[in-house]
Amino acid sequence: KQYKLHVFTGNVSGAGTDANVFVTMFGQLGDSGERKLVKSETHRNKFERNHEDIFTIEAADLGRLQKIHIQHDNSLMSPDWFLDRVVIHEVDHAGREIEPESIFYCERWLSKNKEDGKIDRELLEANFMQTTTKEVSEETNQSEVTQKKQGFRGLARRMKDGKTTAPTIPYTVHVTTASDLNAGTDAKAFVKLTGQRTSTERINLQLLSTDCFEPGRTQMFSIEEVDVGDIEKLEIGHTGLSTESAWLVKDVDVDVPTRGRTYHFVCGQWLARDHGDGKTTRELKPVDSNSYAPLVRYEVAVVTGDKQDAGTDAEIHMIVYGSNGSTREITLEKLTGRFERGQTDKMKLEFDDIGCLKKVRVWHDGKGHRPSWFLDKMVLKNMEIGKEWTFPCYKWLSKSHAEDKLTTRDLPALSEGEATIGHTSYNVEVRTGDRRGAGTDANVFIIVFGENGDSGEMQLRKSLTHRNKFERGQTDIFHYENVLSLGELTKIRIWHDNSGLGAAWYLGSVDVTDELTKIRIWHDNSGLGAAWYLGSVDVTDELTEKAYHFECQRWLSKDEGDRSTLRELPCVTSSLPEESGLILYEITVATSDKKESGTAHDMGLVIIGEVGRSKEFQTQNRVGNVRLLQRAQTDVFQFDSVPLGKLLEVEVRLFNKEGKVFRSAEAASRDNSWHLHEIVVRDVKNGDRYLFPFKSWLAVNGSAQTLVPTKLEEGRTTTLRGLRPVSYEVCVVTGNKPHAGTDANVFITIYGSNGDTGRRPLTKRFRNLFERNQIDTFTLEALDLGTLTAVKIEHDNKGFGAGWLLDKVTITNTENGVLTEFPCDKWLDKKKGDGQICRSLLPRQS
């Protein structure tokens, strides 16, 4: 079969090359082998600036083309080459090019002296959907993620004889080689997991960025295997036969994210024919295990736009927000071929169960030779329930290409084609206290939190009321236009950077106004008849403003009070407009599991609250083939009502579907009765949940029964608004080994059931922190975090001795005395262990 290759050299200065160019085509049925592009059919002097050169290649039928590998040999005087794209057509017997074409965008240099110094590129076909899964090999000097080969092997094995066997789940295996001389090996290693349900086959541990297990290093492998249940033992070994294959394994850790379990296996033995007992495999039993909240598996699809220069070399990060909170920061590693023009990249990730997804915050680090990125959209699919959310973007994340210069975007989830979160504008009024020295010259920042997540960091840069902002007794107003609504606000985090001569600041209070439906309307005064008499504008949402008050009356100062420059303030009051809108209530009705407890009649329900009474909600039994209020059945309804405040009771009655009221004698028959177990009413807006038990028969007699709530579960919004500041004592224990201490700057983030502290520096005046075998104690204030769930601790790798051996972190809630320990016993060092300088620590199980 013949293929026509159209090679387009870019239109930039010095784009052409004199080097020899080679290409390999890859398709579903194989590859073409490397071919030299010798004779151009369009130009005698090929590969010159803004030229299209055409070449004919004969090869076997490759099927649908998926990628090409193109390179030059860096020969002759001007080898540097800017390749724009390659377009390939199949050719029929008459020599005519056949549609569709296959496009491979490059838009990059192949040069030893430009960009990343590479003279070869692997280009994916623009319309080919690339699905990638992760295999991670974290070395001392680098962490590399590539496409996972084992997943395809596992899939084939699970389809033996056309039958699907047990379901698979992800595992993360950390293997640490001892630091002894000659402890490493270049042999092929494997592990096998055995649990209470079944066992895996031997799983090859494929090294990617190195060719051996080196002494003192930790490698991490992400694998997809059968669910073995609770792990009872692990087999580790290698296939080497020579004396050079000897391997001294220190320990192995296995993490099962979807089960919320980690297992620690200690080895400390040689796997060698000429050491010890001569065994090259070991069976290990877990010496320790830890539990945490199981993670939910998602498939994430990232669609890069089909625009010139849309692809990026930057590292992509995201945070996902849901009805039950948010994930921690997630890094989407830049693999070979990921995030390129017109491409869809799929990856499987595990993160916290955050409920129904609301929005995604996505950004990049601005690094690499091509930091700009045009993102079309992201699609997240919950693999457990099959639900999918789309987050459209269609914007640049770029300081050079985007009009607003932003490299961070907040993307609302789409539901049935409409955004689940609308846009709004916020006014932030900051009142500086009226006392001596209250004003500040420092830069002030704020994060606003609400039911839809947080605003992200916003600098209070330009006051609408004063040129010299944050002065004594002064109110400064800051306006933020067209941002995603945060819903009902719960708290703010406000701080300054301690810069300037007068950095100390006494903050009085902050008010945030949500201008939900204010509109601005104008014309440009063009045309002969520009004058316009505007009668009115109708807006469907007639709410005006919502104001939220955050009281402080404290110093943000390194020299005053508790010497903190950061405060978290709960919403103490919220001023709402007259509520002409409706509140959505979710009503869950449970019928008892008794003989003949169900009914063919209908239910009428009235909700009574502190400030009002709803209209009667009525069911319609036997709508189509659906029957309601049946034995042992739970039915869920949604009901709009005027705002009722705190719920006090519900009235429920049973009536026949024609509306006829039965006399009590007729109603005595069980055919005209219904055994109601309970009713649960949830305020969808704030999440408050009321339980109304009944556990009795209800007759069709036209009279209503009154139920009172026995339990109130406050929603997340209500809970967060009720939080108060708590002081946490943080003790950081440095390990007792040579060079264990660090001179780097250390930061901590504490996570709890009610939120997190944000990234906080661990500093203390006149003390040499984080030295060998030393305990350093700090006090951090935050709104009550609830049950502590994790700690992220990291350093910036600065200073002469940046490497750090962290033994553990303990955190004590000074209000209730509860102490939580987070063991580590690992290096945060680019040159030791797994090369990481950031650790996520889980609490030790009591």
Q: What is the pLDDT of residues 647-699, one digit of tens each?
A: 999 999 998 866 544 444 444 455 688 999 999 998 887 778 899 999 999 98
For every residue of 174-209, DSSP letters joined together read EEEE--STT--B-SPEEEEEEESS-B---EEE--SS
What is the reported pLDDT for 657? 63
> What are the tens digits of pLDDT across the range 567-599?
999 998 765 544 446 888 999 999 999 888 998
Convert the pLDDT of each residue in 493-517 to its tens digit: 999 999 998 899 999 999 999 875 4
Rounded to whole angstroms, the Cα distance separating 536 from 539 reads 10
Mean pLDDT (whole number) for 401-405? 92
What was the pLDDT predicted at 658? 60
Work out the mean pLDDT of the chain and round it to a whole number.
Answer: 87
- Residue-wise pLDDT for 329-358, tens only, equals 999 988 777 898 988 999 999 999 998 899
pLDDT beyond 90 at 412: yes
> Any idea which of 37-41, 114-118, 531-535, 822-826 has the lowest mean pLDDT?
531-535
Reference 282, options 181, 191, 179; nearest CA is: 191
- Whether residue 162 is predicted with pLDDT greater than 70 in this model: the reply is no
For residue 601, how far is the Cα from the chain centroid? 47
pLDDT score at 643: 87
pLDDT of 623 above 70: no
Three-class SS state of 811:
strand
Question: Per-residue pLDDT averaged across 746-763, rounded?
Answer: 95
Segments of 366-501 assigned E as strands = 373-382, 388-397, 408-412, 414-415, 418-419, 423-432, 444-450, 453-454, 458-459, 475-484, 489-496
pLDDT for 541 equals 44
- pLDDT for 116 equals 84
Phi, psi of 151 (to 5 degrees): -60, -40
Place of tokens 């009115």: 536
Predicted pLDDT at 243: 79
Q: CA separation (Å) from 754 to 137, 325, 588, 751?
A: 34, 9, 26, 8
Judge whether 264 and 250 are in contact, CB under 8 Å: no
Query: Which helix (H) or strand (E) segment is 666 a member of?
Result: helix 664-667
Q: What is the pLDDT of residues 811-838, one digit of tens each?
A: 999 999 999 999 999 999 998 888 899 9
User: Which pLDDT tens digit goes with each residue over 42-69?
Assistant: 999 999 999 999 999 999 999 999 999 9
Secondary structure of 32-71 as H, E, C letters: CCCEECCCCCCCCCCCCCCCEEEEEEECCCCCCEEEEEEE
pLDDT value of position 671:
64
Tell me the three-class secondary structure of 321-376, residue by residue: EECCEECCCEEECCCCCCCCCCCEEEEEEEECCCCCEEEEEEEECCCCCCCCEEEE
Is it the case that residue 458 has pLDDT exceeding 80? yes
Q: What would the mean pLDDT of 634-645 be, rounded to a whole number? A: 89
Range 764-800 burial, b when 16+ CB lie within 10 A, else e: eeeeebbeeebebebebbbbbbbebbbbbbbbeeeee
List of residues 6+ apart from 436 with CB closer than 8 A: 472
CA 474, 480, 486 angle in degrees (round to 5)?
Answer: 110
DSSP summary character for residue 626 = B
For position 312, what pLDDT does the model report? 93
Rounded distance, CA 192 to CA 201, Å?
6
Q: Span 234-262, mean pLDDT?
A: 93
Is residue 368 predicted with pLDDT exceeding 90? no
pLDDT tier for residue 624 given thresholds of 50, 70 and 90: low
Question: Which residue's entry shows tokens 């955004």?
Answer: 419
* Cβ atoms of 272 and 246 closer than 8 Å: yes
The string of DSSP letters for 709-758 reads -SEEE--HHHHHHT--EEEEEEEEEE-SSTT----S-EEEEEEETTEE--
Residue 140: per-residue pLDDT: 27
3-state secondary structure of 688: coil
State the Cα–Cα distance between residues 148 and 206, nearest whole angstrom: 10
Task: Look at residue 254 and tell me whether its pLDDT is greater than 90.
Answer: yes
Q: Give burial (CB, 10 Å; 0-12/13-18/19+) of 287.
A: exposed
Beta carbons within 8 Å of 270's beta carbon, 6+ residues apart: 246, 247, 248, 276
3-class secondary-structure state, position 483:
strand
pLDDT at 591: 93
Percent of the chain, pLDDT > 90? 65
What does pTM read for this prediction? 0.77
As a whole number, mean pLDDT of residues 633-656 equals 90
Name the pairing type of β-strands 130-131 and 344-351: parallel
Render pLDDT for 462-494 as a digit per residue (tens, 0 to 9).
999 999 999 999 999 999 998 999 988 999 999
Tokens at 785, concatenated = 């975090």
